Amino acid sequence: MLHYFKNLSLSRGAWFFLVLSCIMLEGVALYFQHVMGLVPCVMCIYERIALLGILFAGILGLFGNRYAILRWLAILIWLISAFKGLMLSLKHQDYQINPSPWNQCEFKVDFPQTLPLDKWLPEFFSPGSVNCSENQWEMFGFSMAQWLIFMFAVYLVFAVITLMSQFKHNRQKNSFIFR
């Protein structure tokens, strides 16, 4: 199995699928925000940034899959972003399950002054005035935060398997006629 994932990490197809899945999830988030009128909370914006980290890792892997240093960097960014996204989604779910005055998210996003994403692209990175404990959408009985827990967990599992596969050596095929 690790050989299979090692070969996948060396191909562009797997990295393209990672990029495509992130673009689709970001597209769904923008559809929810701009078409359905669901206002993103602060945690939604942070989860969106974690997904953009996975997207960046996929793009890096797509173009640098043959170079070990770029492939390793892409896998590490993917791993860190998926882990951070999972932790953010779990915290978001905690806000929804245990709503209380002392268990609330921030009122506004806390970006560094050198990277004010909410000022540069407010349509994408600016949260609304909704509280993180509000559940605005459900599908099959699961909230958006629960779906994100699932998605980030899947991304994390595949990132860990891909990382472990990098330690596997590819079998060299001999070109002898008689073997």
**CATH number of the domain that residue 157 is part of:** 1.20.1550.10
> Does any domain span residue 32?
yes
Q: Give φ, ψ of 128 to 5 degrees.
A: -90, -170
Specify if 123 maps to a domain.
no
In a domain, 117, yes or no: no
Instruction: Tokens for 11, please give them.
Output: 């191909």
Q: How many CA atoms lie within 13 A of 139 on its CB side?
A: 6
Provide the number of structural domains found in the chain.
Answer: 1
Catalytic residue among 12, 44, 66, 71: 44
Predicted confidence band at 21 (pLDDT cuts at 50, 70, 90)?
A: very high
Give me the catalytic one of 71, 132, 171, 179: 132
- Is residue 40 situated within a structural domain? yes
Tell me, yes or no, whether 138 lies in a domain.
no
Q: Which of 22, 66, 71, 105 is catalytic?
A: 105
22 is catalytic: no
Is there a domain that residue 58 lies in?
yes
Does residue 174 lie within any of the structural domains? no
**What integer pLDDT is reported at residue 11 of this predicted model?**
80
What is the tens place of the pLDDT at every residue in 57-105? 999 988 988 888 898 899 999 999 999 999 999 988 888 888 777 667 7
pLDDT at 179 over 70: no
Alpha carbons 179 and 168: distance in angstroms, whole number: 24
> β-strands 138-139, 142-143: how paired?
antiparallel
At what angle are helices 68-97 and 144-165 packed, to 10 degrees? 150
Q: Whose CA is closest to 62, among 5, 8, 24?
A: 8
Q: 93: domain range?
A: 1-97+145-167
Among the listed residues 12, 22, 48, 71, the single catalytic one is 48
Active site residue 41: yes
Model confidence band, residue 140 (pLDDT cutoffs 50, 70, 90) = confident
Euclidean distance between CA atoms 29 and 32, whole angstroms:
5
Clarify whether 179 is annotated catalytic. no
